[in-house]
Structure 1
Amino acid sequence: MHGMPGMSMPAPVSKAPTKAKPPAKRSAQPASNPALPAASPRNHSAVPGTQGMDHSSMQGMRMQDAAPSASPPAGAMQGMTGDEHAGHAMPGMQPGPSAGEAAPKGTDLPAGDAPAPAPPMDHYADRFFSKAEMDRARHIMMTDEGGGRTYYQVMFNLAEYQARKGRDGYRWDGEAWFGGDINRLTLKTEGEGAFHEGVESAEVQALYSRAIGPYFNLQAGVRHDFQPGPARTYATVGFEGLAPYWFEVEGALFLSDKGDLLGRLEGYYDQRITQRLILQPRIEFNLAAQDVPENRIGSGLSNAELGLRLRYEIAREFAPYIGVSYDRKIGDTARFARLAGEDVSSTSLVMGVRFWF
């Protein structure tokens, strides 16, 4: 590189003969890459500070094997500061990874916008075996792993004794289902009453339940109320499932054979204090689109129930509990209750058991 055009070299300075030193050990990297194009003399002479420069020190500099990147014109580099000049590679040269550093690959490469490959739509084994036989084998495997099987569960979330002022009572709320992961037959029942006075309210629902996602079921069927009289039958559509943050929620609309439209929304949350001790806040709202005097139900929000229960799981399937429940009739429903001589609100201390199998 000492014979580059446009460069003047200083005259050699004579020195006293000295003892020859062994040559310095050089890197295994080649001094230059013959595949690179020759550097332009015009560009080298235009770089300030290159006149009289000892270019022998540039031997051993590593060249990038890739094609040279675009660099600014030589005239554009005039007047650059040292920091700015350091940010630009010389023509025909690109900085590469330092010695011992691997070239970027995999996730170290810059992001691209190429489309993802299409997912495979076939089973590889079908290329070597009969598709019908492989379909049968896959069905057996899915059945053995739980797919397509039939399950059931019976759960009473509430089965309790209620100590109220003036009269004690009881309450139940249960559900049973039978079916698979997607389609199920669901039965629900709930009600309450007072000792020595009989059942105040009781209902049964028979529903078809269809999974519409990993956490929610859509339900439709019929509901029949035995109390309060007169008895009513309703067409029912609703949902139930697990909302974000582990809230169990349930809602439904009921259209009676007399044209009465009712609604219900309820939910609860299991707050674990320990592995066995669980605090469960619970809330329920009942609504009506119109007055139903014969059932003592008023339009709008008819009643609300707030509860707080603390249970201890002796086993996961069996857990006694204690708590408190507050029930309040609202609006025209409260007016119907006063006319019938009933209390508008009540607070109960409750004790019961939650069980399932």
Structure 2
Amino acid sequence: MIPFPLLMLADPMGQHHHMMPGMTMPGMTMAPAKPAAVPRKAVKRRVVKPAPKKARATVRACSAEHAAMGHCTPADGKPDPMPGMAGMPKEGASPACSAEHAAMGHCQAKPETESMPGGMAMDHGAMDHGAMDHGTMGHGAMPQQSVGSAPPPPAPTDRAADRFYDPAAVAAANRQMRMEHGGMRFSQILFNLAEVQVRDGRDGYRWDGEGWFGGDIHRLVVKTEGEGTFRDRIGSAEVQALYSRAIDPYWNLQAGVRQDVGRLARRTYAVVGVEGLAPYWFDVEGALFLSDKGELLARTEAWVDQRLTQRAILQPRIEVNFAAQDIADQQIAAGVSNLELGLRLRYEIAREFAPYVGVHWERRYGPASGGGAALALGIRTWF
């Protein structure tokens, strides 16, 4: 027995590897082996005789595992399409191939059926393969199910809280919640014009304002405007009571009645009109008036606030009145009966209180034709 130290000296790597043909150790150069010379006379053809029946029977019994490892050749002589994988049945090897194994590729199902992923079998005899649209239906997709015709369940009409609390108390709380989340009531009184007009010996006054009460959709609106001189009665004045209905976020439709007061003939009118905010922030109003005597009037007015600074605002304003016929007792001519232009500069001491100074020009047509310019001193206020 060779001692272990001597063995280590003989084998520096500490390994007992027998040299195999064609292998070289690190650091070693092997000369190529020369083929042995064989005399020409010694070379003979080798005749391969067919295997006996018993041997052929052995070849037929070659299993798939041995064929995959290259130990033998199957009876059909075809190599295994997936070498190195044992236990894979050959084509047509098992007529009882299950759908699960067929889906994983372990075997092939019966020709008349094709397994789909998930254990589903597809019958080619009952389904036309050409009718399948592979562009719209992926492999493994479920066939489209028919839509049901059952009616939807009815919407609930009661409140769940009614089952546990007094329904009257729940209804009151529901109204309060709606009011606090968009159903609240507001009000405002605004006088856009409240001024003194200084003319040559005919100083007078003028007002134009409105007040409203309601919510975002429905409101009650009261409008009033008029004018007069200091040494005489009120020349002309009117009051309107209107119902206002929002028709979109910027416009309201209004309808109601108008009553004229003052020293001129008094009339009662039915009113239909609109008011709202036009592009470029123009406040616009328009209305038609039909009197109790069949007289038709119309009015349109507009103004815009041009903010010069945070407190100084310039407001141009225009108002035009029309009449469909002459009205003698009110000194109104058919067509354009009155035209007003104004330019006012106000300073907002507070948002609700702003004194202003400006110029007002007016022209009347008809029996009471006339007009002219005036210096306007007033206050714009709201609360």
- Normalising by structure 2, report the TM-score: 0.55
User: Hey, what's the Cα distance between the residues in 2 that align with 1:210 and 1:198?
Assistant: 36
- Give the partner amino acid of 2:378: G
Quick one: which of 377, 380, 383 aligns to 1:351?
377
Runs of 4+ in 1 over 2 A off after TM superposition: 129-133, 135-145
Cα offsets for 1:185-238 (capped at 9, x unmatched):
110110000111221111000111111110111110000111352210000000
* 3-state SS of 2:368 partner: helix
Quick one: which of 130, 133, 138 aligns to 2:160?
130
* 3-state SS of 1:212 partner: strand
Whether the 8 Å CA contact 1:201–1:226 is kept in 2: the answer is yes
Q: More deviation in 197-206 or 245-254? A: 197-206
User: Hey, what's the Cα distance between the residues in 2 that align with 1:132 and 1:272?
Assistant: 53
Cα offsets for 1:295-319 (capped at 9, x unmatched):
0000001110000000000110000
- CA pair 230-139 structure 1, distance change in 2 beyond 3 A: closer
Name the structure 1 match of 2:229: 194
Are residues 1:294 and 2:329 paired? Answer: yes
Aligned length: 224
- CA pair 274-300 structure 1, distance change in 2 beyond 3 A: same
Are residues 1:337 and 2:373 paired? Answer: no
Whether the 8 Å CA contact 1:207–1:219 is kept in 2: the answer is yes
* 3-state SS of 1:337 partner: coil
Cα offsets for 1:125-144 (capped at 9, x unmatched):
x8xx83878x9677654432
Whether the 8 Å CA contact 2:235–2:264 is kept in 1: the answer is no
Quick one: which of 169, 180, 193 aligns to 1:144?
180
User: Hey, what's the Cα distance between the residues in 1 that align with 2:285 and 2:339?
Assistant: 15
User: Hey, what's the Cα distance between the residues in 1 that align with 2:292 and 2:178?
Assistant: 44
5+ residue gaps, structure 1: 1-121, 339-343
* 3-state SS of 1:259 partner: coil
1:26-175 alignment, distance < 5 Å: 130=160, 140-145=176-181, 147-175=182-210
Cα offsets for 1:122-180 (capped at 9, x unmatched):
99xx8xx83878x96776544323x2211111111110000012210000111001111
User: Hey, what's the Cα distance between the residues in 2 that align with 1:132 and 1:252?
Assistant: 48
1:240-279 alignment, distance < 5 Å: 240-279=275-314
- Give the partner amino acid of 1:270: D
Name the structure 2 match of 1:205: 240
- Give the partner amino acid of 2:379: V
User: Hey, what's the Cα distance between the residues in 1 that align with 2:223 and 2:341?
Assistant: 20
Where relative contact order (Cα < 8 A, 6+ residues apart) is larger, the structure is: 1
Whether the 8 Å CA contact 2:233–2:263 is kept in 1: the answer is no
Are residues 1:284 and 2:319 paired? Answer: yes
5+ residue gaps, structure 2: 1-153, 164-169
User: Hey, what's the Cα distance between the residues in 1 that align with 2:344 and 2:263?
Assistant: 27
Larger Rg: 2
Whether the 8 Å CA contact 1:228–1:295 is kept in 2: the answer is no
Matched residues, percent identical? 62
User: Hey, what's the Cα distance between the residues in 2 that align with 1:247 and 1:151?
Assistant: 23
- Normalising by structure 1, report the TM-score: 0.59
- Give the partner amino acid of 2:322: L
Deviation at 1:184, TM superposition (A): 0.8
Deviation at 1:322, TM superposition (A): 0.3
